[in-house]
Amino acid sequence: MPVVNPYLVGNYAPVTTEETVTDLPVSGTLPSVLRGRYLRNGPNPLAPPEPSTYHWFTGEGMVHGIRLEEGRAAWYRNRWVRSADVAAALGEQPHPGPVVDGMDFAANTNVIAHAGRTYAIVEAGARPYELTAELETVGASDFQGTLPGGYTAHPKRDPQTGELHAISYYWGWGNQVQYTVVGADGRVRRVVDIPVGGLVSVHDMSLTTRYAVIYDLPVVFSAEALMEGFAFPYRWSDDYPSRVGLLPLEGGADDVTWCDVEPCYVFHPMNAYDEDGSVVVDLVRHPKMFASHLNGPDEGPPVLERWHIDPIAAKVTTEVVDDRPQEFPRVDERVVGRTHRFGYSAALRDRQQDEVGFDVGSDLLKHDLKAGTTEARHVRGGAGEAVFVPENATAAEDDGYVLSLVYDNERDASDLLVLHAQDFTGEPVAVVHLPVRVPFGFHGNWAPDGT
Ligand SMILES: [Fe+2]
């Protein structure tokens, strides 16, 4: 029997062409506040990979973009990120840039706009790749000569300062992770190397007004996995202690307060904030990661939890907020690091019970963390990460729109779903119909004009 890798079939399967389509059909009415680009990144292998060892995290990045303006969907584009290998495979000239340690990778995990530029970004040692506004590759970027090494897929933007805070990792750095702050001018202004207990994989971080939160959890570099041909050579370790660290924002490595936690893995916090000297984090907790399922994130149900991190007692208490399997938690970007009431995520199907068989988002979820309620909106073919766009700069939290790329399995194509966040299960405000499929991927953002 040939090996079936779930991340290569169905709507995970890569697309084979790049498209430029203008004036897309729209159902409903696109709000006038939506002037900018919806951007999303994900793995899209150029050449068919070996199914037995293909890891979802390692396909070459393809960025998808939909430009909205004046109530119309002006264009859709999808472009591979041109690392040297991708450019060569496409028969194009390379885009030279400041690649470090030979870690040249077509960044596949997230795409952000910052300081007037667009970046495809990834973890584990590779540089960001800068793109044009229309998603053509400019080249690898070190943020104008200021970034020491690789970056991360999950910087957090402080809504007050506009600065990007990040925790990055790379096995070649040895037993440390790196905290960086990129200013609103797009240049790194602060770097702190933080010793940890091994060659750990730290996917994301949290930010509060006082701290950067470091998730030092037991997924570590495995030379054995590398030798066996796994392109993402990180595995669960029963021996690596699980802890979270609170780094004071202007502090040094010696100022980190480390707090033990039960073994688990966290890809994505929803948001964090300070409360009475402690830190409150809502996050999606996986019971394990890359222990027995080595080709993708699939080790038991990931649930929404609230953690209270007490830096005085160095203790973490946890409670389950919502026990349905879910991922890709997001909040209104204006409350990052501040108290939030609402969060949005994507529910996951049970792979065993669903004949479609893949763990895509089957529902979009809206959590009211104050009321303790969750609304679920069913999405027939599967939904990606939800991104919130406020109605205007001073609108209340949750007064705005939730955007998500959803797969229409009858049309075998994707739609950009635009919901009013306060009418989450009602009629969509608008649906932009793409002529093609956008494979299930990772992260995206709304990039309003002028950012
Ligand atoms: Fe992520």
CA 70 to ligand 1 centroid distance, Å: 31
- pLDDT tens-digit map of 81-105: 999 999 999 999 999 899 999 999 9
Task: Please give the backbone phi and psi of residue 196, each rounded to the nearest 5 degrees, phi first.
Answer: -135, 180
CA 205 to ligand 1 centroid distance, Å: 10
Pair 103, 142: CB distance under 8 Å:
no
Report the share of the chain in percent with pLDDT over 90.
86
Predicted local confidence at residue 250, as pLDDT: 94
Predicted local confidence at residue 293, as pLDDT: 74
Residue 126 three-state SS = coil
Pair 168, 150: CB distance under 8 Å:
yes
- pLDDT tens-digit map of 337-391: 999 999 999 998 765 544 333 456 679 999 999 999 999 999 988 999 999 999 9
**Long-range pairs, 409-416, Cβ under 8 A, ≥24:** 409/11, 409/380, 409/381, 409/382, 410/380, 410/381, 412/437, 413/437, 414/438, 416/38, 416/66, 416/73
CA 331 to ligand 1 centroid distance, Å: 14
Nearest-angstrom CA–CA distance, 130 and 115: 12
CA 268 to ligand 1 centroid distance, Å: 6
CA 326 to ligand 1 centroid distance, Å: 13
Residue 370 token pair: 């104050």
CA 198 to ligand 1 centroid distance, Å: 21
CA 435 to ligand 1 centroid distance, Å: 27
Nearest CA to 422 among 347, 361, 362, 344?
A: 344
- Average pLDDT of the chain is 94
CA 329 to ligand 1 centroid distance, Å: 10
- N-terminal to C-terminal alpha carbon distance within the chain: 50
Q: How many residues are given for the chain?
A: 451
CA 246 to ligand 1 centroid distance, Å: 20
**pLDDT of 423 strictly over 50:** yes
Pair 203, 154: CB distance under 8 Å:
yes
CA 196 to ligand 1 centroid distance, Å: 21
CA 96 to ligand 1 centroid distance, Å: 27
DSSP output for 404-434: EEEEETTTTEEEEEEEEGGGTTS--SEEEE-
CA 95 to ligand 1 centroid distance, Å: 26
CA 346 to ligand 1 centroid distance, Å: 13
Place of tokens 């993708």: 296
The mean-pLDDT minimum among 15-29, 158-172, 346-360 falls in 346-360
Nearest-angstrom CA–CA distance, 152 and 205: 10
CA 289 to ligand 1 centroid distance, Å: 14
Nearest-angstrom CA–CA distance, 230 and 53: 6
Average pLDDT over residues 17-21: 98
- pLDDT tens-digit map of 53-75: 888 889 999 999 999 999 999 99
CA 402 to ligand 1 centroid distance, Å: 18
Predicted local confidence at residue 353, as pLDDT: 45
The dihedral built from the CA positions of residue 291, 296, 300 and 302, taken in this order, carries a sign that is positive
Average pLDDT over residues 315-340: 97
Nearest CA to 64 among 303, 286, 385, 349?
A: 385
Pair 109, 443: CB distance under 8 Å:
yes
Burial of 298 per CB tally in 10 Å (0-12, 13-18, 19+)? buried
CA 109 to ligand 1 centroid distance, Å: 7
CA 58 to ligand 1 centroid distance, Å: 13
